[in-house]
Chains A and B, each alone.
Chain A
Amino acid sequence: AQTVTQSQPEMSVQEAETVTLSCTYDTSESNYYLFWYKQPPSRQMILVIRQEAYKQQNATENRFSVNFQKAAKSFSLKISDSQLGDTAMYFCAFITREYGNKLVFGAGTILRVKS
């Protein structure tokens, strides 16, 4: 059963604008860890941001921030001031004991930043 759902297969955004990528997940646990990974055309997987479920404060890394809604099991990624280098596939993923402490990925969202 798919436990991480990214409902937007593809998105596009103009350079310098803001875009939000959606992610929902399913777990019965109260403590877990959520991640967003970026995979540019080089196909190298790069960790963008990490959130611990027991922390209510949303994680932020420079232009990247998350909106973590624990009750709704939602973990969206906001990219501000989009740059051409942000063009990539973005994967939402999580780790829980329920799934053996292994990273489980969504299907990904292709983001294209246009000039």
Chain B
Amino acid sequence: DGGITQSPKYLFRKEGQNVTLSCEQNLNHDAMYWYRQDPGQGLRLIYYSQIVNDFQKGDIAEGYSVSREKKESFPLTVTSAQKNPTAFYLCASSIAPPHGYTFGSGTRLTVV
């Protein structure tokens, strides 16, 4: 079955550490996105990529980094520069606008 796989489902990070969230899709979608979700807020865009080897900052890119070396994969690194990383992270992909996005099941990151 085609879809988006995010791993791990839960992730704990010590302060000062970098962590990488995985996102893999087998939908053959060109575009991929990372969103952050906090309680009481909608989804905010961190980074997006519309083609391999190219990506752009979203609204809240500070403290995060990404790579897009393969069409299927778009990992997100939460660096130690991100001051408040505890959140729910969602990865999505799309064929192209104006189609809606397909979402993964998310990763819950907690700083301990």
Q: Which residues of A pack against B, CB within 8 Å? A: 4, 9, 32-33, 35, 37, 42-45, 47, 50, 52, 91, 95, 101-103, 105-108
Contact = CB atoms under 8 A, between A and B. Distances in A.
Interface string B7-51: 000000000000000000000000001010000111111001000
Nearest to B105: A44
A42 B41 CA distance: 17
Nearest 3 interchain pairs by C-beta: A45-B103, A105-B42, A33-B98
B101 interface: yes
Interface of B: 33, 35, 40-45, 48, 58, 88, 90, 92, 97-98, 100-103, 105-106
Nearest to B41: A107
10 contacts: A33-B98, A44-B103, A44-B106, A45-B90, A47-B101, A95-B98, A103-B100, A107-B40, A107-B42, A108-B41
Given A9-B40, A47-B100, A105-B35, 15 more contacts: A33-B100, A35-B100, A43-B105, A43-B106, A45-B103, A47-B102, A50-B100, A101-B97, A102-B48, A103-B33, A103-B45, A103-B100, A105-B44, A106-B42, A107-B42
A43 B44 CA distance: 15
Contact of B98 (A44, A45, A52, A91): A52
Contacts of B44: 105
A4 B42 contact: yes
A95 B97 contact: yes
B42 A91 contact: yes
B111 to A, nearest CB: 19
B103 A102 contact: no
B27 to A, nearest CB: 14
Contacts of A101: 97-98
B100 A91 contact: no
B42 A102 contact: no
